[in-house]
Amino acid sequence: MNSDTEIEQLKYKRVLLKLSGEALAGDAKTGIDPAILNQAADEICEIAEMGVEVAVVVGAGNIFRGSLGEELGIERSTGDFMGMLATVMNSLALQNALQQKNRPSRVLTAIEMKDVADYYTVDSARKYLAAGEVIIAAGGTGHPFFTTDTASSLRAVEMKADVMLKATRVDGVYTSDPEKDPDAKRMAKISYHEVIRDRLRVMDMTSVALCMDNNLPIIVFNLFDKGSLKKIISGDDLGSLIS
């Protein structure tokens, strides 16, 4: 861990990282790619070693989505609970990867399952963060009809994070889908209002509104550009800033 002086020089000292389930799947689109899981753990360990307090929310799109359940004839609320359970699976996988690198970490779930992980409370999350553990908040908000993006914003606000870091497959917010439109342009800075007005699909509108109401900045970036997390924490202008 860095000295107190070095920690003070960091731009962000407590962060919430939102990692999508799809990102963990890699090219396979489903399941967990061990190489990608390991790379994500390396990036998280790197900033934790710098003295940054790190909380993570992992999505479940690589395993199950509530919206997919509707297509299968499953009631939306039931499908959402299935998705919440899938986030726990991803969170346990990330915790295992971190622990294999000797980084203390703890999964806290919004749905009580004492034989699997501790129950999430704001006080416990803040306590473990202050003790240097990486917190992985699983189970979404614990309620159906809310996405893991919204859960990320909620947890970030509750934990008093300095910034919410939204990891995607591209390096920021674009005028259109850069994977489909070669003329898409990256926006280095954009306001909450513009994201909501233009309904940019970087994250759901409830999540953006919650960040806006609490003046929580969002940085959208590509986690899998090696060293990107460390650069952001150190103050480099990577990705797109929503504020």
pLDDT at 68 over 80: no
pLDDT at 5 over 80: no
| Res 3: pLDDT | 52
pLDDT at 8 over 80: no
pLDDT in tens, 10-33: 899 999 999 998 888 888 888 999
CB distance 21 to 149 below 8 Å = no
pLDDT in tens, 118-138: 999 999 999 999 999 999 999
pLDDT in tens, 141-187: 999 999 999 999 999 999 999 999 999 878 888 887 777 888 888 88
| Res 121: pLDDT | 97
pLDDT at 9 over 80: no
| C-alpha dist (Å) from residue 142 to 2, 39, 77 | 36, 28, 11
pLDDT at 42 over 90: yes
For residue 23, which phi and psi values (nearest 5 degrees)? Answer: -65, -40
| Res 149: pLDDT | 95
Q: How far apart are CA 79 and CA 28, in angstroms?
A: 22
Percent of the chain with pLDDT over 70: 96
Amino acid at the residue 108: L
pLDDT in tens, 184-224: 888 899 999 999 998 888 889 999 999 999 999 999 998 88
Does the global pTM surpass 0.85? yes
In the chain, what are the domains? 4-242 (3.40.1160.10)
| Res 110: pLDDT | 97
Can you tell me the mean pLDDT for 84-110?
97
| Res 96: pLDDT | 98
Q: How far apart are CA 198 and CA 218, in angstroms?
A: 17
Q: How far apart are CA 95 and CA 149, in angstroms?
A: 20
Q: Give the count of beta carbons closer than 10 Å to the beta carbon of residue 22.
A: 16
Three-point CA angle 196, 122, 135, nearest 5°: 85
